[in-house]
Structure 1
Amino acid sequence: MILHLVFFKFDDPYQWGDAEVIAAEVATRQHPLYIKEILGWACGRNITLRKKAMDFVVMGLFASPEALSGYLIHPDHQRGVQKWQKIASWNVVDMDISNDTTKFFGLLNTWADFGMSQLEEMNVS
């Protein structure tokens, strides 16, 4: 399982409320409706005013590196990328959550044991 994290920072002068920003947010929120490789999805606005804080985050869950690659080239994802390229820069982290180098604690600890068998039981393909 791959956990795909993307952290967006608006370019000057963009901010929440700008039409371009709202369009990028809406496109990102709708990716799971069109991209079958997405097994789990969360995205949202930053709520803090810290200087180092990013503005928006995406968290996607994919079955494999190949599924992530399929998502990255999907036309719907590419339309979203084009919208974000106009207004922001971003950083990406892709974690293999089944790898020994990944550590979970507390409520997130159940992620380490969550695999394709559980997804198949939920009828997710």
Structure 2
Amino acid sequence: MILHLVVFKLSNPFQWCDDEVVDAEAATRQHPKQIKEINGWFCARNISLREQAMDFVVMGLFENQEDLSAYLIHPDHQQGVRKWKKIASWEVVDIDLGSDTTRFFGLLNGIANNRVALV
């Protein structure tokens, strides 16, 4: 299973009340309804006031690299990318949850060995 993490930083002068930002966030929240390759989805605004903090996070779960690749080129995802490009920058991390280099502790132990509960 692949965990796809994306953290966004709104560009100056954009804020959460701006129509473009509201639209990009709404589009992102709809991806699981449009893209069948998504096995799990989480997105949320950051609540930290720290200067180095990012503004928004997306976590997607994909069965394998092929499903992640299909998601990346899906028209609905590409539409979201275009919306975010106008208002923010972002960084991406893709993690193979089954890798020997991946470790789980505490409440995240349930993810180990691909025992993710998909709702």
5+ residue gaps in structure 2?
Answer: none
SS at match of 1:39: strand
SS at match of 1:83: helix
In structure 2, how many angstroms separate the alpha carbons of the residues matched to 1:113 and 1:97? 8
In structure 2, how many angstroms separate the alpha carbons of the residues matched to 1:15 and 1:51? 15
C-alpha RMSD of matched pairs (Å): 1.5
Shift, 1:39, TM fit: 0.1
Structure 2 partner of 1:11: 11
SS at match of 1:84: helix
Shift, 1:110, TM fit: 1.1
Q: Deviations over 1:73-123 (max 9, x none)?
A: 00000000000000000000000001010011001011012259x76xx8x
In structure 2, how many angstroms separate the alpha carbons of the residues matched to 1:69 and 1:114? 19
> What does residue range 104-123 of structure 1 map to in structure 2 within 5 Å?
104-115=104-115
Runs of 4+ in structure 1 over 6 Å off = none
> Among the aligned pairs, what percent are the same residue?
66
In structure 2, how many angstroms separate the alpha carbons of the residues matched to 1:51 and 1:100? 34
> What does residue range 1-125 of structure 1 map to in structure 2 within 5 Å?
1-115=1-115
Q: Deviations over 1:25-66 (max 9, x none)?
A: 000000000000000000000001100100000000000011
In structure 1, how many angstroms separate the alpha carbons of the residues matched to 2:2 and 2:112? 11
Letter in 2 for 1:73: I
5+ residue gaps in structure 1?
Answer: none
SS at match of 1:12: coil
TM normalised by structure 1 equals 0.91
Determine if contact 2:97/2:114 at 8 Å carries over to the other structure: no
